[in-house]
Structure 1
């Protein structure tokens, strides 16, 4: 079974019905996860960033953020990853950006040892981990 970690934007695009924004490979990974054939870890900073984007109305969910999270994690192969001290320590040592969400998401993926589903060019160009798009 393939295993990935997701960045914020791919999860928003998949769960928000904007799958056309995903690459064919990323879409296949999310569909495979929903079907129970692929595991996608969802870092808590990804969820926190989505929550803040909803709050400032940069994105609109079709239901409350709480219900949206419940629906996402009804699929057992979408797995939330709590923020741990080891993720903070890893993020502290990364210098490719000052964006706290990117730092924590990349640190989580590095700590877990799985590729990050992302289209973020700054993350890809930093070459700190394997990315999947």
Structure 2
């Protein structure tokens, strides 16, 4: 399996060790944990995690848990910052196909990096990126 980009819900379910992850997504995160592949985390995922914590929809320490994993460097999780190139890729994703701005940024990150996206979101394939779930 190649390196990947993840969607926010997939990252949260991975951090929660949730059974909602598909077998393919779970396998990807396991490979990442073993250092066999890199999974890029778009920075908008961090924003969404903080937002969901504030709304009480996920654990209040989810962001801290992720930060700890990233600082430790013991997995293949790497942040992918929002860059001008990702913004340019975002402009190629039709807003009527993927209307949610965070989803468009996530898809644009995958498109810019030329990597498949881990996502259950049915609209993500409309962005033109390969999706695994």
**What are the within-5 Å matches in structure 2 for residues 1-133 of structure 1?**
2-18=2-18, 20-61=19-60, 63=61, 65=63, 67-73=64-70, 74=72, 75-95=74-94, 96-124=97-125, 126=126, 128-133=128-133
Report the CA distance between 1:87 and its aligned residue.
1.1
Equivalenced residue count is 129
Secondary structure at the residue paired with 2:31?
helix
Equivalent-residue separation in structure 1 for 2:13 and 2:75 (angstroms): 20
Q: Name stretches of at least 5 consecutive residues in structure 1 with no aligned partner.
A: none
SS at match of 1:42: strand
**Structure 2: where are the runs of 5+ without partners?**
none
User: Residues 127 and 45 of structure 1: is their aligned pair in 2 closer, same or farther, counting only changes over 3 Å?
Assistant: closer
Instruction: Give the CA deviation at 1:56.
Output: 1.4
SS of alignment partner, residue 56 of structure 2: coil
Alpha-carbon distance in structure 2 between the residues aligned to 1:64 and 1:12: 8
Deviation at 1:92, TM superposition (A): 2.6
Gap change, CA 1:64 and 1:11, over 3 Å in 2: closer
- The ranges of structure 1 where at least 4 consecutive aligned residues each deviate by more than 6 angstroms after the TM superposition are none
CA RMSD of aligned residues (A): 1.6
Normalising by structure 1, report the TM-score: 0.88
Q: Deviation string for 1:15-74 (max 9, x for gaps)?
A: 0121x111111101101111111210111011111111111112124x362x22322312
Check whether the contact 2:53–2:62 (CA below 8 A) recurs between aligned residues: no
Contact 2:111 2:129 in 1 (8 A): yes
